[in-house]
């Protein structure tokens, strides 16, 4: 029986988490059994800033679909649309799973983009290394239906778990991210999925910096994990950089690292960075309405550090 089968209200426990400023509402859906449509309703209501908890998206931990996985990750954007993958969210959900009783040092989990694995790379419990499947080739010839702004030196496309445009620019801070991102993200040539848009600046230090406009959030976010991965791989391949030499990537919300590490399965690419618990709380869900009340106030606990 799903939550829609009863008219009773339910108080849903959640964790608020963030990875380099990319923030999420996280629920253990093994306890609640929300359907995907219900998770979409929850996300569209609860993620609204100033009207709900506020977040870039909703993460749900579910029972695994495959024998190789410990759990399944479902991710819903702030507007209620379903997303295939979220790199910052995946790291946060790994930390959430560890706190929920998953004790193995490395956990595998199903996503709509395939099987992923995550672990702690050291003693810092806030730091998570996410191992990602092989990425497809970078498309260096991107033909959009609209004109591309002159300040964009080159435009690339890659699917890093979700669709991404990577735009190389001289000065990332000078880019009107909301204006250009909204326009390019919805180009008819990218229909129906669209693409996140990453404005990337290469720096003399060897690191790169980027700002990202995310579809589903329909705004600039402080960080996008799959966008970091996409940008790093594009720069690596077009510049001929050694993938085993880790690349630091600066986002508006903090620094992430992309590299290749040796595992029992062979060399694997990873995305590494913080995953932090902000607070825990409860919010009311009433199945008597099709969509939760967007003005419903959340009840949150006192801020706490991660255990």
- Dist CA 49 CA 210 (whole Å): 24
**pLDDT value at position 173?**
96
- Dist CA 225 CA 114 (whole Å): 16
Domains and CATH numbers, the chain: 3-126+275-300 (3.10.310.10), 152-260 (3.10.310.10)
- Distance from the Cα of residue 64 to its chain's centroid: 19
**pLDDT value at position 289?**
35
Instruction: State the catalytic residue, choosing from 42, 47, 92, 224.
Output: 224
**pLDDT value at position 220?**
98
- Dist CA 119 CA 106 (whole Å): 5
Instruction: State the catalytic residue, choosing from 42, 47, 86, 92.
Output: 86
**pLDDT value at position 8?**
59
Query: 239 near 156, Cβ under 8 Å?
Result: no
Query: 249 near 236, Cβ under 8 Å?
Result: no
Which residue intervals of the chain are DSSP H helices?
29-32, 36-46, 87-99, 177-185, 225-239
Question: For the chain, how many residues are written?
Answer: 307
What is the CA angle 271-157-193, rounded to 5?
95
Q: Helix, strand or coil for residue 305?
A: coil
**pLDDT value at position 119?**
98
Pairing between strand 71-77 and 57-62?
antiparallel
What are the backbone dihedrals phi and psi of residue 294, each rounded to the nearest 5 degrees, phi first?
Answer: -65, -15
Q: What is the helix (H) or strand (E) element at residue 114, kind and residue range?
A: strand 114-119
Query: 59 near 26, Cβ under 8 Å?
Result: yes
Active-site annotation holds for 224:
yes
Q: What is the DSSP letter of 95?
A: H
What are the 10-residue block averages of pLDDT along the chain, 307 residues in total?
A: 50 97 98 96 96 97 97 98 97 98 97 97 95 93 94 97 97 97 96 97 95 97 98 96 96 98 96 98 74 40 31
Cis amide linkage into residue 192, ω under 30° from 0:
yes
**pLDDT value at position 263?**
95
């Amino acid at each position: 029986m799903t939550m829609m089968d009863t008219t009773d209200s339910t108080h849903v426990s959640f964790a608020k988490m963030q990875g380099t400023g990319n923030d999420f509402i996280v629920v253990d859906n093994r306890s609640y059994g929300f359907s995907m449509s219900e998770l979409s309703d929850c996300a569209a209501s609860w993620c609204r800033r100033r009207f709900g908890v506020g977040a870039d998206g909703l993460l749900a931990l579910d029972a695994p679909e495959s024998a190789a996985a410990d759990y399944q990750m479902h991710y819903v954007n702030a507007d209620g649309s379903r997303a295939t993958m979220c790199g910052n969210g995946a790291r946060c959900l790994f930390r959430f799973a560890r706190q929920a009783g998953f004790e193995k040092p490395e956990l595998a989990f199903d996503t709509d983009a395939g099987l992923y694995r995550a672990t702690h790379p050291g003693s810092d419990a806030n730091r998570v290394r996410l191992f990602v499947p092989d990425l497809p080739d970078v498309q260096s010839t991107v033909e959009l239906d609209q004109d591309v702004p002159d300040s964009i030196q080159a435009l690339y496309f890659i699917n890093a778990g979700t669709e991404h445009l990577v735009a190389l620019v001289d000065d990332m801070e000078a880019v009107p991210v909301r204006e250009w991102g909204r326009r390019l993200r919805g180009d008819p040539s990218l229909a129906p999925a669209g693409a996140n848009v990453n404005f990337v600046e290469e720096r003399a230090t060897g690191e790169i910096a980027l700002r990202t406009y995310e579809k589903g959030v329909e705004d600039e976010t402080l960080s996008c994990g799959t966008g970091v991965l996409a940008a790093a791989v594009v720069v690596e391949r077009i510049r001929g950089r050694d993938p085993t030499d880790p690349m630091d990537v600066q986002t508006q919300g903090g620094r992430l690292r992309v590299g290749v590490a040796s595992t029992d399965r062979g060399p694997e690419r990873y995305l590494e960075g913080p995953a932090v618990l902000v607070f825990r709380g409860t919010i009311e869900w009433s199945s008597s309405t099709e969509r939760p009340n967007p003005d419903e106030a959340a009840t949150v606990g006192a801020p706490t550090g991660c255990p």
